[in-house]
Each structure stands twice: as C-alpha cells, then as structure tokens.
Chains A and B, each alone.
Chain A
Amino acid sequence: MYVIQAAAVRGRCAGCLMAQSGRRDAPELPDFSLLKRLARDQLIYLLEQQHEVDKLYKVELKPIVSTADQLCFLIRPRIQTVKWISDVVNLDKAAGRLRRYKIIFTPQKFYACEAVLEEQGVFGDVTCDEWAFYLLPLDDDIISLELPEFFRENFLEGDQRWVGAAGGALRLIHSLYGPFSKVYGIGQCAKMVYESWREQVEDGEQKTQQPEIGNVFLIDRDVDFITPLCSQVVYEGLVDDIFRIKCGSVEFGPEVTSSDKSIKVMLNSQDKVFNEIRNEHFSNVFGFLSQKARNLQTAYDKRRGMDIQQMKAFVSEELKGLKQEHRLLSLHIGASECIMKKKTKQDFQELLKTEHSLLEGFEVRECVSFIEEHINRQISMIDSLRLLCLLSLTENGLLPKDYRSLKAQYLQSYGIEHLLTFSNLKQMGLLVEQQPGETLTVMESKVGKLVNDKTAGKLTDAFSSLAKKSNFRALSKRLVLIPKSGEEYDLRVPRDMAYIFSGAYVPLSCKLIEQVLERDGWTGLEEITRMLNGHEFAVSGGANGTESRIKADSQRIVLVMFLGGCTYSEISALRFLGRERGYKFIVVTTAITNSGRLLEALLDNHP
C-alpha cells in the first residue's frame, strides 16, 4: 500500500535504489540522435527554400497580421486547419493582396486536406510540402511519434489514416538499426502496421548491416486499457499525471520553484538527479532526495580549510557540477512536496484503495458507492470517469441498474452534454453495461449446470458470448497480475513489475511482453489471447543467411511499439523487466499518455 516513509529509508536508500548499471552484460542501446538530425536537416532544407524567415507564429485560427509577401504554415494535416488557411488566402484575394503561400504538413499530408484546398478554390495558390518527421527521441530509450490523435482516430473513429505513418516509422528504424529478426504483436492495428511496414520494406531497398535491434513487439492500446487508467505512483508517472510532461519537458510553476517564476526542465537521463528517481515508487523518493541533499552539503563543506590553490581547483572543477546538482535537487524536492500536498488534498489514499479493490475484485459494492459519492460531490470530472471505466473493465461491465444510475448522476454533476462522452466510451468498450444474464457469477453457475447436462456445444456457445468482454478477472488469474494480498511488499526492493502500482498489480501490457519474450512466441498463451480477442502474431525474418551475422547483443534489444500511447509507468516496468532479464527495451509510442490524456481524448463536451 501507499505509505510515505521518508525517515525509514534514510541511509539505506543509495544502496537500495535499483542498480543503475544493471546486469554486467546488458547490451548498449543504439544511438538515436541520428533520427533527430535527419528530421532537423529536412526542416531546415524546407525552410531554406523560403529565404529569410522573418517571423514564426503559432497557428491560432485567428486572422494573420503580417506584411510579409510570403506565408509559410507548418501544420498537422488537419482539415480544420487547412480550412482556416483557405480562408486566410481567400480573404487576401478579396482584399487584392498578393502573397505566396506554402503549407508544410508534418509528418505527412492527406488527400483530404488537398481536397479542401481544391474545394475552396485555392489549390495552386498554395503549394504543399511534407516534413517527414516521424520519430522524436525523447530519451535514450523512448521514441515518440508525437501523434496523440492516433488514439482517438484509430480506436474510436476507426480511421486508419495513421497506419501508414506507424509503418513508415518502423521502416525507418528498421533501415537504420535493423534488420529485425523477430516481430511479435497483438491487436488489429498492430497487424495492419506490421503489414504496412512489410510492404514498404518490400518496395524499397534492403540492407545488410549489423543489426542493432533484434526483436520487435507491437501492441495495441486497446489490448490493455486498465494499466493506463490506474493512478501512477512511480515518480516520473506522478510528475506526468500532475504537471503533464510535454515532449520530455515539464514546466514547474511557482508552487514548485518557490519563486514567482516558472521553470521549464528537460526530464531525461541527462538529469542525474531525475535519472535516479524516475523509476522509483514515490515513497522512496523523499528518502533519496534528502540523502542526496546531505551529500551535497558535505561536498560544499569541503571548501572549509582549503588554501587558495585548492579553492581555485574546487571552483574550476567541482563547483559548476555541484551547482547544477543543487539546482536540480531543489527542483525535484519542490516537485515532490507539491505532489504530496496535492495528493493529500484529494484523499489520494482512499482513491488508491478503491482502485486496488477494483483490481482485486474485492468489496466491489463499497467501490461503487465511493464512485457515486465522488460524482455527487463533483470532484474531478476525469477521475470520476476513470473510476467508472475501471469498474466496467474489471467487472466486465456495470450492472444495468448501476449503469443507468451512475450515468444519470454523472450527467447531473458534470453536464448533460457528456451524453456524447458516454456514447464514445461505450463504443470503445471502456464503459459498458453488462448484458442481462451474463454476469460472471451467472456464467459460472451456467457452466456448472452444463457440465452435468453433457451439452458441450452449449458450453462453447456460452463462452463465446463472453468473447468481446475485457475478461479482466480471468486474465488476471491466469497471468497472476494481482500478487497475493496480505503479503508484505517492500517497495524499496521490488520483486516484480507490480512495484509500479505499489505492489498491487502487474501491468497487463508488460506482463504479456514478458511472457511472449520468455516463450519466444505465443505458444502456451492460447487461452490468454482468446480472452484478449486474438489478433496475435509472431513472425521471423527470412532465412537468407543473416543469422550468423546477427550479433547476440541485438537479440536482447527489444523494441516495443505501443499503438495508441503508453504511460511512463509502463516504461518504468519495462526498464525493471529489462534489468531482471538482461534485456534492453526501447519504447516507441505514438504518444506518451496517462489516464487524463486518454479520457480527455474521448470527451465530447465541447464544440
């Protein structure tokens, strides 16, 4: 459970923090800075064609005030934005102003966007380019496609417009760091991305080079919705939940910096303080930070009794580093305090207790009334929705009477326009009503009866009607996602990936990855994949004699691609798994997500 024990870990923390070096033979990660250079160079090239960039503006869908005779727009391929640009052009035309216009779409343009230009009669007045910027390395082991819209457009709208982009991203990585030897995957989108990648590779050229990345795992976000909906309690995840990390950078406001200005900080492995706490359960963070502060004090104290020469050396060699560390340390201490304050205020303890009970399937009625009261008191709209979804996902849907009553109360508390939100959630299978007579307990008794009736056919019928359900309980039992309760779980010495949720739950997504890598495929997991609605695959590259050349190291570098986003907690879990099993994981994701972003993408309460 979630306890802050700053005092208890004092002194031990430096040793008990998970070994940063990992296993002696852990392979090195490939260098992804090349990706960034490529993308940057192309953008510079594109802009260079424009000569003398005068000013950069942010697109705000407002009229443009500029005397320049050329306008250049760098945009996402969205119809709404293109419509706005068409209006700008048409306004200029009406006013008799002559300008040249250029749109640079990133990462690619869509036919629908050009169709808008055509319809608005500005095709030809506007020229188009593409900035093929697919992959942004956020850190040594995280690459983001920065496509948050992927999630809603693919899973809710059923629009496959980004499949090609994901396939293209994979192709780029393959051509630079491949060839891959194995590709595993689960999910319908994963399959399509695999196919798109495969066809693009076939169309293009192939290379023989030393592979740096051996294995690839593709996973759809809808295979596991539970994990991203849980409250994050690992430091990096908490920072994301509370301050929202954007493109690997966070803005700490005055309440953190304890001054009147905000500070933007890059959060990655270059920040030595952050690097040591990012994967830690929050209860360990205070102890670590205070130890670090004491060490720093000692280092500063060395100055005393120095002679001039020593002092000179100290100032030129150590002082800068110490100051940098000092700055980072005070920022992270400020952030931790702020997190504590906010979490205490919102009764975080009780919220976590409810989440854990839901995961465990324990005292579900109490959870329902907790959620109801949460809604009644108009506490955080997103948290209420998150709890409702967790309830639905873990219980295979809400009882019809609960569904009706909680939905009605939700609409009363947060606005009736959320009708659309509920319809979206239902379509995604995130918040549904149990079909009458299909609750698990009813099913179980049915099955019990049928065994006596010797009607095996009916048995499978009964089961197949459960096929579309989340089946969380059964999955959790089979994969042992919930550690036995009552056992002491020492968060300072994590024994499995459950530590990222205070020892209460092993993330389903990461557990699947672990199992598939361990078994080198899906063999033995048939029951599991059936409950996950199938769409699993495991394929190996052709036997064209490359195997002998495959470096053993590359086989232990696993690229995991999350289609629809992944959370920092999942990344922490994979890092832990990597250290335990001697893998190095590289996470490629369409975007970094968390419960807030995931649900906000599905809200429809605004025009």
Chain B
Amino acid sequence: KRVSVVLFCQTGVYYGSKLELRAKPEDDEYWNSSKFSAFTFDDEDDEFTKMKESKRAVNSILVDDDDDDDDVEKVSWSGEPIGSISWSVKETASSFRSSGEQSFPKIDTAPSLPKQGSGYSLSSLFKAFTDTSTRAYAPELRKPKSECKDYMSDWSPEETVRRMRKGRAYSLERFRSLQDKLLLLDEAVSLHDGNVITAVLIYLKRSLSKEILFRELMVREVALRHYVHYLKEMGEQKLLLMQYKEHLNIKDEGRRRDFLKSCLSLPFSQDDAMHVQDHYTLLERQIIIEANDKRGEAEIFRKYPRKASILNMPLITTLYYSCFYHYGEPEGTFSSPANIRKTFRISEKQYILTALGARAKLKSWFDVDSLFNTKNWLGYTKKRSPIGFHRVVDILQKNNAPAQVLQEYVNLIDDPELRLSLAQKYKCHDIVIDTYKDLKDRQQLIVYQGKVERGSHEDRKIEELINNMQIRWKN
C-alpha cells in the first residue's frame, strides 16, 4: 500500500527544505548537523530508536485513560483518539493532581473600550441584511451563569463549551430554545476560544433564521466579529466593501467594468463613492485605449513595443503610459494626458512628475524643457517647478540625461548647498565654480582647483577668479 502525503507549507522552509535537500545531498550534512535543523524524515538508526521510544510513549498515553467519566473518546468529535502525546512529559518531574488550590489568580478579561471602528461599523454593515429592530429579545440571558445551573439531564452550557474546548464529545442538539442557544453562545464567548465560538455560531446558523440570528448578534460584538469572519472565509459574506472586492475575482474586463458600474449604487461614504466612480471610469478608459493600442500601428509602438496591457493598471501608471505613447494628443481624446489629468483631478505636482519620468525615458529633452517653461506677462520664459529642481535632476539623472541637460537643471536649484553637492556629484564644474564665486568662498575655490584637470578650461577659470582683486572674498 502506498501513501502520498501532501504538505501544506505555509512556512516554506520548514517542510519544504527537506524536500529540496533530497535533491541536493551535499547540503544534508550541514542541515542535519545544525542544532536547529529542519525535521528529517530519515529513518537513521538514531531517529528510529527515538521514534520507537515515542511510539511507546504514545501507546502508554492511549491506554492511560485520562478522561474523567466515560469513554467518550470513541464518539468524540475528534474522530480518532490520537491523544496529545505532547504534554505529558513525565521524565523531569513527579506529578500530582492539583489540590484545587488556585495557584494563579483569575483576572478580568472584559473589554473596557470597543475597538476603533472603521468607517463602516459592523452593525451598520448588517443593516444591509436585515431591517428588523435591533432590540435584544433576551436580555435577561446575560445574567451570571450560576442562575441557570439547574438543567434537566445533560451538560450545562458551561460544561458543554468546556468539553468542546478540550475536543471531547458533546451535543448541541438539546439547545433548542432561543434562550438556551444564546446562553450557549455567551458561555462560549466568555471562554475566549474562537474555535468554540465559531462552532456554536455554525450551529446557530443552521438552526435559527437569519433575521433572529443577526438581531441577537448585533448586541454581541465578539460573536458578531467571529460570525463575519466565518462568513468571509466561507465566501458567503457580501457586505459593502467585500461586495466591491468581488471585482478582483472577475477576469473578463468587460464584465469587471459592468460589475464596477453596479457597485456605484452601493452606500459608500462620500469619499469612497468617488474613488469607486473613478475606478469604473478608469477601467472604461483603459478598455477603449487597449482596444486601439493593441494593434500597435503607430510608429512609437514599433519603436518601443508595449511590455504589458494597460488594463487594470493604477491610474498613475495609466497616466505614465499616456505620456509615453499619447503625448501631445488633443485634450478631446480619451487617451491624451490632458484628458486623463482633467478627468481624474490629478494635481500639477503629480502630473509633472509623471510626465517628466515618461518624457525623460524617451529622451525627449525638448518636452522636458517645456514642462517647466512659463512665460511671465512680459513674455520672458522662466523655469518654474512644483517639485524641487533637485528632484528633477534626480529623475533626469536616473534616465541617463546628457551632462548639458543635467547642468541646466542643477543650476536651477535654489539652495546653494544642495546645488553645490549635486553639481559636485554630477561634475558640473562651471556651476561649482560660479556658486563658490557667489558665496565669495575663495578657500573652497582653491580646494576645488585641485580636483579639476590641470590646464583645462575650468582650471583657467578658477585661476582667473582667485586672482581677481575686484571680488570681495570672505576668506
């Protein structure tokens, strides 16, 4: 008989490592010799004896019926009685039953302040489901558990949830009245065991109508959050943002667009409604642009073939794309940068940054220039930028701009210190020299002379300057 073991390795190395190592035997020694090596499944002698040992240990545990009253293990929820080998290590200590004396005291675990809600509180989300009033119909249930000790035959809610926590046999069938069901739920919540809480909720979901369940969950925040999470995991939850999130599962762009359109009517907050609207508009545009550009007939597409489709890209990526492939198109066209900028209310700063990146990539230095050109009322052209020119230089440099272009923009940096450091970094000698001259710093100029080539144009310029008696040097 052969068995295949399928491992789910979320923590990749752990189980995975061994599998890989089988392929690379030379690493084995290192792994196995390390004290913290991954588990091995090799049955070397040593491992084998250890395994035998543990098998004996496990067997002894199985015989050792540590359960209290009955042989519940046979019918246990847990299927088979594997027992937990783990925690009965007896080698180091003699053990005795707790005398019942509480060695560590109980502490109050009641939440003092509710968590800061997101814009959409859980209960408001549920309004989408049910319109029934949120009045608690069984408020008396929240009384201390001592009052409801007296149950007919079986386990009390308290005993039941405790048995569930330990994985022992239990039965929920007898919790039939609403009151009993809610007592059970409250008991589970007071145990702080999410596993048990969810188990009870699954039972309530099966045995209560949606309306009644939600009504009661509204006043039970902890249980409510467990329920929402359970629905989420089961893929059954379709609340507001989750509903919007559904679009990520739709592959076909046309259907995705239509789905986003249907989301527009959802009761989002004002800001979020605008974002969802943008999302829809953006995808609509992208579909149009993609249909045209896919053929790639224009010159630019042949020269710089597209690496990917523009569908589902972020807005800024779309703007960059448009600045790259559709620069200079009239504002009327959907694919033009101007149109995108206007439709999506893109700030000047953001626009300039993106356009700069795209045009610099194409080495269209003329376009780069005109991005910053402004004419004053006398008609003079001046360079102005909503982003610091040092940033402009940085972007140009990353796109391998020629020295001359770089120099022009380094020169535009206002702060002399920053200008100096970038000028030195990119070897714009003239700017360094002029800046020192402006700062009247003769000493630094002399120092800098040592860094330029002897007899060069720069060398002569510095020579001239330091001999110029007209300048009032500060040192």
- Contact present for A420 and B4 (CB under 8 Å): no
Residues from chain A with a CB closer than 8 A to the CB of B111 are 188
Which residue of chain B has the shortest Cβ distance to A412 in the bound complex?
B315
Q: Given that A130-B82, A205-B96, A264-B13 are contacting pairs, would A45 and B54 also be in contact in the complex, using a CB cutoff of 8 Å?
A: yes
- Contact present for B89 and A57 (CB under 8 Å): no
* Least distance between A320 CB and chain B CB atoms (Å): 12
* Chain B 1-39 interface 0/1 with A at a Cβ cutoff of 8 Å (1 = within): 111111111111111110110000001001100111111
- Contact present for B279 and A416 (CB under 8 Å): yes
Which residue of chain A has the shortest Cβ distance to B394 in the bound complex?
A347
- Contact present for B15 and A206 (CB under 8 Å): no
- Contact present for A416 and B275 (CB under 8 Å): yes
Q: Pick the most buried of B115, B226, B347: most chain A CB atoms within 10 A of its CB.
A: B115
* Least distance between A205 CB and chain B CB atoms (Å): 5
CA separation between A74 and B15, bound complex, in Å? Answer: 10
- Contact present for B96 and A206 (CB under 8 Å): yes
- Contact present for A411 and B275 (CB under 8 Å): yes
- Contact present for A194 and B9 (CB under 8 Å): no
Residues from chain B with a CB closer than 8 A to the CB of A539 are 104-105, 107
CA separation between A33 and B109, bound complex, in Å? Answer: 34
* Least distance between B266 CB and chain A CB atoms (Å): 12
Residues from chain A with a CB closer than 8 A to the CB of B94 are 207-209
CA separation between A108 and B87, bound complex, in Å? Answer: 14
> In chain B, residues 318-361, which have Cβ atoms closer than 8 Å to a Cβ of chain A?
344, 346-347, 349-350, 353-354, 357
B244 at the interface (CB under 8 A from A): yes
- Contact present for B36 and A111 (CB under 8 Å): no
A388 at the interface (CB under 8 A from B): no
Chain-A contact segment, one of B192-200, B302-310, B371-379, B400-408:
B192-200
Chain-B contact segment, one of A245-253, A288-296, A576-584:
A245-253
* Least distance between A402 CB and chain B CB atoms (Å): 13
- Contact present for A419 and B244 (CB under 8 Å): yes
- Contact present for A33 and B202 (CB under 8 Å): no
Name B87's contact: one of A164, A172, A188, A202 (CB within 8 Å): A172
Q: Given that A54-B4, A412-B346 are contacting pairs, would A132 and B97 also be in contact in the complex, using a CB cutoff of 8 Å?
A: no
B79 at the interface (CB under 8 A from A): yes
B86 at the interface (CB under 8 A from A): yes
B69 at the interface (CB under 8 A from A): no
Q: Given that A111-B199, A176-B89, A419-B276 are contacting pairs, would A412 and B96 also be in contact in the complex, using a CB cutoff of 8 Å?
A: no
- Contact present for A416 and B315 (CB under 8 Å): yes
- Contact present for B80 and A73 (CB under 8 Å): no
- Contact present for A41 and B104 (CB under 8 Å): no
Name B27's contact: one of A264, A411, A604 (CB within 8 Å): A264
* Least distance between B118 CB and chain A CB atoms (Å): 4
Residues from chain B with a CB closer than 8 A to the CB of A198 are 104, 106
Name B101's contact: one of A134, A168, A533, A542 (CB within 8 Å): A542
- Contact present for B249 and A607 (CB under 8 Å): yes
* Least distance between A546 CB and chain B CB atoms (Å): 9
- Contact present for B50 and A37 (CB under 8 Å): yes
Residues from chain B with a CB closer than 8 A to the CB of A54 are 2-4
- Contact present for B82 and A129 (CB under 8 Å): yes
B152 at the interface (CB under 8 A from A): no
Residues from chain B with a CB closer than 8 A to the CB of A377 are 353, 357
- Contact present for A542 and B4 (CB under 8 Å): no
> In chain A, residues 443-499, which have Cβ atoms closer than 8 Å to a Cβ of chain B?
467-468
* Least distance between B330 CB and chain A CB atoms (Å): 23
Q: Given that A132-B84, A164-B165, A175-B87 are contacting pairs, would A57 and B7 also be in contact in the complex, using a CB cutoff of 8 Å?
A: yes
- Contact present for B5 and A57 (CB under 8 Å): yes
CA separation between A527 and B94, bound complex, in Å? Answer: 44
Q: Given that A43-B39, A159-B225, A207-B93 are contacting pairs, would A69 and B2 also be in contact in the complex, using a CB cutoff of 8 Å?
A: yes
Residues from chain B with a CB closer than 8 A to the CB of A411 are 275, 278, 314-315
CA separation between A602 and B108, bound complex, in Å? Answer: 30
A365 at the interface (CB under 8 A from B): no
* Least distance between A400 CB and chain B CB atoms (Å): 10
A90 at the interface (CB under 8 A from B): no
> In chain B, residues 70-106, which have Cβ atoms closer than 8 Å to a Cβ of chain A?
77-80, 82, 84-87, 89, 92-98, 101-106
- Contact present for B241 and A419 (CB under 8 Å): yes
Chain-B contact segment, one of A20-28, A421-429, A558-566:
A421-429
B383 at the interface (CB under 8 A from A): no
B455 at the interface (CB under 8 A from A): no
Q: Given that A45-B54, A161-B198 are contacting pairs, would A72 and B5 also be in contact in the complex, using a CB cutoff of 8 Å?
A: yes
- Contact present for A71 and B15 (CB under 8 Å): no
CA separation between A249 and B104, bound complex, in Å? Answer: 38
B210 at the interface (CB under 8 A from A): no
Residues from chain B with a CB closer than 8 A to the CB of A423 are 118-120, 241
Name B275's contact: one of A81, A191, A195, A419 (CB within 8 Å): A419
* Least distance between B39 CB and chain A CB atoms (Å): 5
- Contact present for A467 and B192 (CB under 8 Å): no
CA separation between A159 and B195, bound complex, in Å? Answer: 9
Residues from chain B with a CB closer than 8 A to the CB of A424 are 118
CA separation between A115 and B200, bound complex, in Å? Answer: 11
CA separation between A378 and B115, bound complex, in Å? Answer: 32
- Contact present for B198 and A172 (CB under 8 Å): no
- Contact present for A69 and B1 (CB under 8 Å): yes
- Contact present for B315 and A55 (CB under 8 Å): no
Q: Given that A59-B7, A264-B17, A542-B102 are contacting pairs, would A52 and B1 also be in contact in the complex, using a CB cutoff of 8 Å?
A: yes
Which residue of chain A has the shortest Cβ distance to B312 in the bound complex?
A415
Which residue of chain A has the shortest Cβ distance to B97 in the bound complex?
A205
CA separation between A169 and B4, bound complex, in Å? Answer: 30
> In chain A, residues 77-124, which have Cβ atoms closer than 8 Å to a Cβ of chain B?
78-81, 108-112, 114-116
Name A55's contact: one of B5, B34, B38, B106 (CB within 8 Å): B5
Residues from chain A with a CB closer than 8 A to the CB of B78 are 109, 128, 130
CA separation between A183 and B105, bound complex, in Å? Answer: 10
* Chain B 412-449 interface 0/1 with A at a Cβ cutoff of 8 Å (1 = within): 00000000000000000000000000000000000000
> In chain A, residues 171-188, which have Cβ atoms closer than 8 Å to a Cβ of chain B?
171-172, 175-176, 179, 183, 188
B176 at the interface (CB under 8 A from A): no
Q: Which residues of B contact A (CB under 8 A)?
A: 1-17, 19-20, 27, 30-31, 34-39, 41, 47, 50-51, 53-55, 57-58, 77-80, 82, 84-87, 89, 92-98, 101-109, 111-113, 115-120, 164-166, 192-199, 202, 221-222, 225-226, 228-230, 232-234, 241, 244-245, 247-249, 271-272, 275-276, 278-279, 282, 314-317, 344, 346-347, 349-350, 353-354, 357, 387, 391
In addition to A50-B5, A376-B316, 11 A-B residue pairs with Cβ atoms within 8 Å of each other are A42-B58, A45-B58, A55-B4, A74-B7, A204-B87, A268-B34, A376-B349, A416-B314, A417-B245, A428-B116, A467-B113
**Interchain residue pairs with CB less than 8 A apart (22):** A41-B51, A41-B53, A41-B85, A45-B58, A52-B1, A52-B3, A56-B7, A58-B15, A68-B3, A74-B7, A79-B234, A111-B195, A183-B104, A191-B107, A205-B98, A208-B96, A209-B94, A249-B13, A416-B282, A417-B245, A420-B244, A468-B113
- The 6 A-B pairs with the shortest beta carbon distances in the complex, nearest first, are A41-B54, A161-B194, A158-B225, A111-B199, A160-B194, A542-B103
